[in-house]
């Protein structure tokens, strides 16, 4: 018997919408947390219920060990999301979250509950590999990397205690994604929408377009002005796009 959907250490609902026709599970970037998506429900209409995944090793899960295997993490997240597939479930992942979302989608598909769509944001396709070792940098080098991507509130860097708190999670997540290699198969059966900033140093438009190779279904590439965290400046437009693709005008 399948489990009933419920909030857990893994799954957060900032605005429960039990009557929603569609659910959207959001997977954060490296060093990120579920709270990154706290404002998204307000940008979507009542037809979409937003779930946000909380990784171990941060915020209220800070006493848990960091994930060390993308495949193992994907299996865990897929198992936690399965009870929520009683209605269409789409996945949105940014950066590391896009890679994880892809592997979670594979897991859900293998369980007979494929997602209705995958939104892969700020990440090159799994078939477009780069050799990266940012997780091996010293603390100052890693901080330069993060500042260059503008992914963390600059006020964090002015507080030494906060830096000590967030840097281990960022390093662990970089290690997680930089050491992962996706298998070429299986392909997904759901549509993929790749989303990227035109000035993102981490992914070219061509690398984002290669997500098309990973699905047997529909594909679309959407670009936004900006860098790696283009979505913070274009949150309403991103939400509008997601709402349309999730099945109708479900956005405000």
Task: Give the separation between CA 6 and CA 81, rounded to whole angstroms.
Answer: 10
Do residues 38 and 13 make contact, with C-beta atoms less than 8 angstroms apart?
no
Tokens for 195, please give them.
């989303």
Closest CA to 72 of 35, 42, 104, 34: 104
Task: Give the separation between CA 122 and CA 214, rounded to whole angstroms.
Answer: 16
Per the residue annotation, which of 95, 111, 127, 179 is the catalytic one? 95
Catalytic-residue membership of 95: yes
Task: Give the separation between CA 252 and CA 1, rounded to whole angstroms.
Answer: 37
The backbone torsions φ and ψ at residue 13, rounded to the nearest 5 degrees and listed phi first, read -120, 115
User: What's the maximum distance between 2 C-alpha atoms anywhere in the chain?
Assistant: 50
Closest CA to 182 of 76, 102, 88, 66: 102
Q: Give whole-number Cα distances, 236 to 89, 95, 132, 221, 246, in Å.
A: 21, 19, 32, 18, 15
3 state DSSP class of 202? coil
3 state DSSP class of 123? coil
* 111 Rama class: left (phi>0) / alpha (psi -120 to 50) / beta: alpha
Task: Give the separation between CA 218 and CA 212, rounded to whole angstroms.
Answer: 8
Active-site amino acid positions: 95
């Amino acid at each position: 018997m399948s489990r009933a959907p419920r909030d857990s250490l893994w799954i957060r609902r900032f605005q429960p919408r039990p009557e929603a026709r569609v659910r959207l599970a959001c997977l954060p970037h490296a060093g990120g947390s579920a709270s990154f998506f706290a404002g998204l429900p307000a940008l979507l209409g009542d037809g979409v219920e937003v779930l946000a995944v909380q990784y171990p090793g941060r915020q209220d899960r800070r006493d848990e060990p960091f994930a060390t295997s993308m495949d193992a993490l994907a299996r865990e997240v897929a198992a936690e999301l399965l009870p929520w597939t009683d209605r269409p479930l789409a996945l949105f992942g940014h950066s590391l979250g896009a890679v994880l979302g892809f592997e979670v989608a594979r897991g859900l598909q293998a369980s007979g509950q494929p997602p209705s769509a995958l939104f892969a944001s700020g990440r090159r396709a799994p078939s477009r590999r780069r050799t990266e070792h940012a997780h091996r940098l010293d603390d100052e080098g890693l901080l330069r990397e993060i500042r260059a991507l503008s992914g963390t509130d600059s006020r964090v860097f002015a507080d030494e205690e906060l830096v000590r708190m967030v840097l281990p999670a960022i390093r662990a997540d970089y290690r997680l994604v930089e050491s992962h290699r996706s298998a070429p198969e299986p392909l997904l059966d759901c549509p993929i929408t790749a989303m990227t900033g035109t000035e993102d140093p981490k992914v070219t438009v061509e690398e984002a377009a290669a997500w098309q190779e990973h699905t047997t279904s529909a594909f679309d590439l959407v670009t936004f002005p900006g860098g790696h965290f283009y979505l913070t400046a274009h949150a309403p437009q991103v939400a509008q796009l997601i709402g349309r693709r999730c099945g109708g005008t479900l956005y405000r």
